[in-house]
Structure 1
Amino acid sequence: MEADHRAQVEELLAGYRRSREQLGAVHRKLTTLQQSATSEDGLVTVTVGAHGRLTELVIVDSAYRKLRPHELAAAIVKLTETAAAKVSRAAGETIAPLLPADTDPDALLRGTADLSPAELKPEPPDADETFEDLSWMRAGGGKR
């Protein structure tokens, strides 16, 4: 009986070690993910890291002559969003093998995996919690 128990414990520990190794490999891959996006004219290229943060920005010299500052800024923002969406998809694909079959990896990464659509809607402000009649100039912040 004790040998069976010991074998079960060893099997559980081996499974735990395999899961931990797999989780470590996925974590290492997630931390090194990066994606790039380049404008159609090739003037601007952005690269984002694992969390969608801009890590590299390449602007070709001629971009300053061809684009106005607001156009260049808009291109950078748009390309950063595109690259961030790509890195998010890659992260979802990376973690998908670890998740139960019915789990949406993108929702998990957004932190909304177990929330219903109703729970994701912002709550309206509490009608009783209005500060429009309060004055910061009166002692205690009392009403005017």
Structure 2
Amino acid sequence: MNDEFRLTIEGLAKEYNRQAGELRAAYGRLSELTGTGESADRLVRVTVGPRGQVQEIELDPRVYRKLAPSQLSREIMQQIGAATEQVAERTKELMAPFMPEGLPLEEVLGEGASIDAFLPRPVELPAEDGDVRG
């Protein structure tokens, strides 16, 4: 392989590995995301995790005097929805730099998706003397 071609390939491999590392780091931050929805009267507060799973429901004791059970249930569900939407928006913000323009994030990272499914292992080039290096 001539030197100019080899330098070009090494540069491309290095750039790919850098971008793949950044993508993996961003994907790792996704697992730390939370969102919180709070009612206007601050009596109901719900926190969800990165996939919308409810982590905490906080109810001010006054809520039992103010809302009927069906109203309370509806309010909790609304706050779960608001919190989940927060997480979805933060996910889009984190992943936007890595997405092709016009491709909806939902089509790429659906439920249970892992970024590893989209990325091959880091590129390792053979060294001049036959050893493999990365």
Same fold (TM over 0.5): yes
Residue pairs, 1:90-129, within 5 angstroms: 90-110=90-110
TM-score, normalised to structure 1, is: 0.69
Alignment of 1:1-144 (within 5 A): 2-110=2-110
Between the two proteins, the alignment pairs up a number of residues equal to 111
Cα distance in structure 2, aligned partners of 1:83 and 1:91: 13
- What percent identity do the matched residue pairs reach? 31
Higher RCO structure (Cα 8 Å, ≥6 apart): 2
List runs of 5+ in structure 2 lacking aligned partners. Answer: 112-134
CA distance in 1, matches of 2:109, 2:77: 22
Q: Give TM-score, length-normalised by structure 2.
A: 0.74
Counterparts of 1:27 and 1:16 in 2: how far apart (Å)? Answer: 16
Q: Please tell me the root mean square deviation across aligned C-alpha atoms, in Å.
A: 1.8
Q: Runs in 1 of length 4+ with deviation above 6 angstroms?
A: none
- Structure-2 separation of matches of 1:53 and 1:37: 13
- CA distance in 2 between counterparts of 1:11 and 1:108 reads 28
Give the secondary structure class of the aligned counterpart of 2:46: strand
1:88-109 C-alpha deviation (Å, 9 max, x unpaired):
1111111111011222335544
State the secondary structure of the residue aligned to 1:16. Answer: helix
Is contact 1:88–1:106 with CA below 8 Å preserved after alignment? no
In structure 1, what is the Cα distance between the partners aligned to 2:108 and 2:92? Answer: 8
CA–CA separation in structure 2 for the residues paired with 1:58 and 1:36: 11
Q: In structure 2, how many angstroms separate the alpha carbons of the residues matched to 1:20 and 1:98?
A: 9
Tell me the secondary structure at the aligned position of residue 32 of structure 1. Answer: coil
